[in-house]
Structure 1
Amino acid sequence: MTKNPLQSIAEWRGRPGPSGIPSICTAHPVVIEAAMNCIAPTPLSLLIEATCNQVNQDGGYTGMTPADFRRFVEGIAARTGFPLERLILGGDHLGPNPWKNLPADQAMEKAETMIRDYAAAGFTKLHLDCSMGCAGEPVALDDAETASRAARLAAAAEAARPADGVAPVYIIGTEVPIPGGAMEEIEGLEVTHSDAAQTTFEVHRRAFADAGISDAFARVIGLVVQPGVEFGNHNVIDYDPVAAAELSATLDKLPGLVFEAHSTDYQTREALTALVRDGFAILKVGPGLTFVLREALYGLDAIAEELFPGKRSQTLRQSMEALMLDAPANWDRYYHGTDAERALQRHFSYSDRIRYYWPQPGAEKAVTELFDLLGESELPETLIGQYLGGLYPDVRAGKLAPRAGALALAAVDRLAQDYVAACLD
């Protein structure tokens, strides 16, 4: 059986080569293609993760099952020439969250089906997250119940994984907001206490042993903790190495483990580098990537209006506004304030809840119409400078083609490069 390339991630800090890995949490084809182009020239594997809300047996908000998602990603790899042997698929927040409005027994049955489907489809990095209460339970469960349910899901995954495939590695713990991000502006964060991290590890170790799957626990490679990074609708909390020093030192007491840092979106390259250096070796990023892609798409939208005024019945932004107003469930309870303030957040919030709408047929149609309108023509440098200013220097220097498709990919690549640099520093 082929060894999971992430099995030894805790040893990476002490040897030449990568010391961490970015986790690309998205189902957007442009983001995935850009990530493949960014990772391909490096020694890194490409880790792409889907969340429980995004991809599950019911389709999630993308309409894809785990097997569908695998085919989707591998199709992009085939088109770009990215080698499949360097591709790792992961599942994030796998647990009852999508069904937490149901009684616990029903929600956990659904969660078991989901993780079996992930494992059977060849996803080899699985984050077990059963921390949330279901109908009639507290909002957050205690450590023992959380670990017991996580072990139950690990047992389901172990039973469903292909016998001749790569054995999955597991991530345990949760110190982050629910999938989808924080629901309000964040004023401050409390870094996970060292003893809490150790307790999480020990309680899960016992739960796996009680479930008769200690061999699976030997493949637990990481612990989700809060290193002090997060973003809300309007602001970003930056990493402070001093505040996280005690937590970072805890890894000395947890041999074979690294920390997984969620919500690293919008951190600077310097902060990302410090996170990896301090043992937060798995850097998860999702909304930040679709945020910069949306910036590029809206910039191209404005350029199209300059070049071809009145050629479309609606601009891309107008189409996206109509979609979000028609189906407000993915943003309404997250965005607050006046109508004008909520309208601004729908398009420009750090939480980037507009990302839930890109897979919809109406959004895909509007994006296709935009790219068809701009085609392969060279866009004026002056308009690129006006509406896509961050990409202008490379266009001006002849390093980047002034074409719509290349500009969209380059916008994502610029951010992805920060994560690659942090993991190879």
Structure 2
Amino acid sequence: MALALTDLAPLFRAGTPRGITSVCSAHPVVLRAALRHGRETGATVLIEATCNQVNHQGGYTGMTPTDFVALVRDLARQEGCPEGQIVLGGDHLGPNPWRHLPAETAMAEAERMVAAYAGAGFLKLHLDASMACADDTAPPDDMTVAARAARLAAVAEDTARKAGGPMPVYIIGTEVPPPGGADHALDAITPTAPANADRTFAVHARVFAERGLADALARVVGIVVQPGVEFGNQNVVFYDPAKARALTGVLAHHPALVFEAHSTDYQGAAPLSALVTDGFAVLKVGPELTFVLREALYALDLIASDLLPDYGDRPLYRAMEGLMCAAPDHWQGHYRTGPARLLRHYSLSDRIRYYWTAPAAEAAVARLTEALAGQSVPRPLFWQHMPAAARFADAPLDPDEVLIWRVTESLKTYHAACQPGGAAA
């Protein structure tokens, strides 16, 4: 059953916690898998774009918010996913893409971005003005962060009201993990201090009220906090309910709110289920989905190399290695320690996801899928390179179906955790 974001807090208070998976990706295969899974389950399909990925200037995907909406709607039509099940969100909306500029200039760009998101019909907006800009002498304090968030909320409210559609709901919060995961090995992560979570809401409530944004404040449905989960390039810190117990008690003070958990990638069934049970009702996942997509692509690359004499020796892998070495900006600063070649391809932060839209990558993927389309792959080759996909053996192969299936397997884990009494092991 599709849930609204506003359903989450009442369900938690009633003792029947439910969750919603937030798919944070712009890759068409990931989006298609999420929409198909939504059609098959009837669950809410929450898809989010980040400020760096999609903005009024195009972002690193080259898409504006309007472009992103058009992409999702087109894929939804192809997959038969009802539009009423789809919720679009904007993540980390604030000055982050322009933080190298003075604060006023960066905030002016952030306002234009938020207007573009609200005008395009995004209904879930995470307001994040926690980062320092070029002329900030220190990280912004709570009042500054809240004041900047209120500026953005005012723009969103005005834009949505003029558009005449549904008014947005908001996520606030400043204790956010690094987007895309940490860049070093992690032993433990300390959950947000309860006093900090209380103060975040109190300061935002005060500033919003002072600026005449009571209606927007009433549509704040969640706070981003650190539950004690994270992933580095090569390891994962798993959720420990005991360590987060003091933090989860904060929700008793805020009956209209739930927590939003970022960087829940790679947690697995039991930790995800425990997060939902404890009130972390929005589970954000991104790199895991493109990581397993890459896993499937590389497995097919190996299968084609073994099966087809004229295909070559792992040409997709070699194409991606060449791309990343020729243009290292997306990974070099993130893989400062450890074996760089292995991390380029296999890091849990999955920086390779930035390269799939390059023409050479698209050509290599197309060559792979065209080479395997209709081929009958012997079961031993699947057992060797991708055992879980052996169901596709010994029949005409549709490589795209293998890719969608692999992403869906991860989405199924999230879906189970989001249900009452979700996966317990």
Both structures adopt the same fold (TM-score exceeding 0.5): yes
Letter in 2 for 1:308: L
8 A Cα contact 1:233 1:351, kept in partner: yes
CA drift of 1:401 comes to 7.9
CA drift of 1:41 comes to 2.6
Letter in 1 for 2:409: R
Matching residue within 346, 359, 362 for 1:361:
359
Structure 1 equivalent of residue 271 of structure 2: 271
Paired with 1:330 and 1:138, the residues of 2 have a C-alpha distance of 27
Distance 1:15 1:391, change over 3 A: farther
Paired with 2:57 and 2:378, the residues of 1 have a C-alpha distance of 45
Structure 1 equivalent of residue 128 of structure 2: 129
Structure 2 equivalent of residue 205 of structure 1: 205
Paired with 2:280 and 2:186, the residues of 1 have a C-alpha distance of 21
8 A Cα contact 1:18 1:43, kept in partner: no
8 A Cα contact 1:127 1:172, kept in partner: yes
8 A Cα contact 1:22 1:420, kept in partner: yes
Letter in 2 for 1:300: L
CA drift of 1:176 comes to 2.3
Paired with 2:217 and 2:361, the residues of 1 have a C-alpha distance of 42
Alpha-carbon deviations, 1:189-213, whole Å to 9, x = none?
A: 1101111100000000111112211
| SS of residue in 2 equivalent to 1:366 | helix
Equivalence map 1:17-32=2 (5 Å): 19-32=18-31
8 A Cα contact 1:381 1:402, kept in partner: no
8 A Cα contact 2:98 2:106, kept in partner: yes
Q: Does 1:109 align with 2:104?
A: no
Q: Does 1:417 align with 2:412?
A: yes
Q: Does 1:407 align with 2:402?
A: yes
8 A Cα contact 1:18 1:44, kept in partner: no
Gaps in structure 2 of 5+ consecutive residues: none
CA drift of 1:410 comes to 1.1
Paired with 2:256 and 2:358, the residues of 1 have a C-alpha distance of 42
Equivalence map 1:129-278=2 (5 Å): 129-138=128-137, 140-161=139-160, 162-278=162-278
Paired with 1:309 and 1:217, the residues of 2 have a C-alpha distance of 63
| SS of residue in 2 equivalent to 1:71 | helix
Structure 1 equivalent of residue 369 of structure 2: 371
Paired with 2:58 and 2:374, the residues of 1 have a C-alpha distance of 34
CA drift of 1:314 comes to 6.8
Distance 1:385 1:17, change over 3 A: farther
Structure 1 equivalent of residue 299 of structure 2: 299
Paired with 1:44 and 1:327, the residues of 2 have a C-alpha distance of 39
Distance 1:149 1:378, change over 3 A: same
Segment drifting more, 145-154 vs 172-181: 172-181
> Aligned-pair RMSD on alpha carbons?
1.9
Q: Give the percent of matched residue pairs that are identical in Structure 1 and Structure 2.
A: 51
Q: Does 1:89 align with 2:88?
A: yes
Distance 1:17 1:83, change over 3 A: farther
Paired with 2:50 and 2:225, the residues of 1 have a C-alpha distance of 18
Gaps in structure 1 of 5+ consecutive residues: none
8 A Cα contact 1:12 1:20, kept in partner: no
Equivalences, count: 417
Structure 2 equivalent of residue 346 of structure 1: 344
TM-score, normalised on structure 2?
A: 0.94
